[in-house]
Amino acid sequence: MNRPYVILHMLTSIDGKITGDFLSSELADVYCEEYYRIHREYASRAFACGRITMEGSFTQGAKPDLSPFYRAKVAREDYVAKRHDFYAVSIDPHGRLGWSDSEIHDPDPGYDDAHIIEVLTAQASDEYVAFLKSKGISYIFCGEDEIDCALMLKKLFNLFGIKKLMLEGGGLTDTLFFEEGLIDEISLVAVPMADSSDGIDLFANKKKGLLTFKNVTATPLANGGLWLNYKN
């Protein structure tokens, strides 16, 4: 393939929620650690998340200071700030995340020191693009109004040499890949809880499509949890 192999890796309730009340339980904390352990064992050199997930996990809601770049004019060309051995692919269509520098800082070695690649559409402002360049953050343009996932994967492969990508939410981002048929493997850590709250489904607002997997394994985890793995 001239694109990365894509593994969707998520923590879910048994009724397919990826957000909701179940995540605040002590039991979910146990399976979060299992989720991170499995993430590390995949040893992927890149992971991808949507804007909301990146904001909640890494930027903590920080907004970019665009004032130094007022009326900036930046060529709409992909920018490879550096080649690295580990990447955080940030799917941020309109350019809203307030990164402090060009790497992820996290106590988990499965995420720490990943060089950030921002995935933008043409709707991102020149000021935001100039902000990214000033931070030494790589960026690629992948669509006019919505992210073109196939184009994104092609650029990640050709520009950065990424051959395996862990896709880790959220639900809208997962659905983009689902609807373009670009998920090669699914890895689910299932918490033994059902959740009737207004959480987001694994594939949120799915409009079309089916995915069928031939090779399925279920590995028991402590206290009734499961690691479910689906491969074509």
34 and 124 fall within a common domain: no
Residue 211 pLDDT = 80
Report the distance separating Cα 108 and Cα 163, nearest Å. Answer: 22
What pLDDT is attached to residue 213?
A: 85
Which of 162, 188, 206 represents a domain boundary (last residue)?
162
pLDDT of residue 212: 84
What is the per-residue pLDDT for 107?
Answer: 95
Residue 56 has a pLDDT of 93
> Which 3 state secondary structure label does DSSP give 49?
strand
Q: Are 193 and 25 in contact (CB under 8 A)?
A: yes
pLDDT score recorded for residue 197: 85
Q: Which of 110, 141, 162 is the last residue in one of the domains?
A: 162
57 plus 134 within the same structural domain: yes
Domain that holds residue 64: 51-162
Q: What is the pLDDT of residue 191?
A: 96
Question: Phi/psi zone of residue 36: left (φ > 0), alpha (ψ -120 to 50 degrees), beta?
Answer: alpha
pLDDT value of position 206: 67
Residues 64 and 31 both lie in one domain: no
Domain boundary residue, one of 146, 162, 178: 162
Which residues of the chain have a pLDDT value below 70?
206
Region of 35 on the Ramachandran plot (φ > 0 left; ψ -120 to 50 alpha; else beta): alpha
